[in-house]
Amino acid sequence: MDDELNALRRTRMRWNTPLSEAHAELLLDRMALEAGQHLVDLGCGWGELLLRALARTPGLRATGVDTDLTGLDRGRAAARERGVAVDFAESDAATWAVPAERAFCIGAAHIFGSTEAALEGLTRVVPSGRLLYGDGFWAAPPNAAAEEIFGPDTLTLPDLLDVARAAGWRVLHFSTADQLEWDDFESTSRAGWQEWVAAHPADPRAAEVRDWLDGRLGQYVRDYRGVLGFTYLVLGR
Q: What phi-psi label fits residue 73: left (phi over 0), alpha (psi between -120 and 50 degrees) or beta?
A: alpha
Considering the rule CB under 6 A, would residue 15 count as an interface residue with ligand SAM?
Answer: yes
Give me the count of residues in the chain: 237
Q: Which helix (H) or strand (E) holds 145?
A: helix 144-150
Interface residue with ligand SAM among 40, 53, 93, 167 (CB under 6 A) is 93
Cβ-based nearer residue to ligand SAM, 23 or 210:
23
Task: Give the range of 65-73, 81-89, 189-197, 220-228 binding ligand SAM by CB under 6 A.
Answer: 65-73
Considering the rule CB under 6 A, would residue 75 count as an interface residue with ligand SAM?
Answer: no
Among 138, 162, 167, 133, which Cα is nearest to 151's?
A: 138
Interface residue with ligand SAM among 71, 121, 129, 136 (CB under 6 A) is 71
Considering the rule CB under 6 A, would residue 28 count as an interface residue with ligand SAM?
Answer: no
User: Within positions 99 to 118, which residues make up the interface with ligand SAM, using CB under 6 A?
Assistant: 106-108, 111
Phi, psi of 199 (to 5 degrees): -85, -20
**From the CB of 168, what's the least distance to ligand SAM, in Å?**
23
Q: How far apart are CA 213 and CA 201, in angstroms?
A: 14
Site string for ligand SAM, 30-49 (x = CB under 6 A): -------------xxx----
Q: How far apart are CA 71 and CA 146, in angstroms?
A: 27
Considering the rule CB under 6 A, would residue 136 count as an interface residue with ligand SAM?
Answer: no
Q: What phi-psi label fits residue 168: left (phi over 0), alpha (psi between -120 and 50 degrees) or beta?
A: left
CA–chain centroid gap for 213, Å, is: 21
Considering the rule CB under 6 A, would residue 50 count as an interface residue with ligand SAM?
Answer: no
- Chain positions contacting ligand SAM, by CB under 6 A: 15-17, 43-45, 65-68, 71, 92-94, 106-108, 111
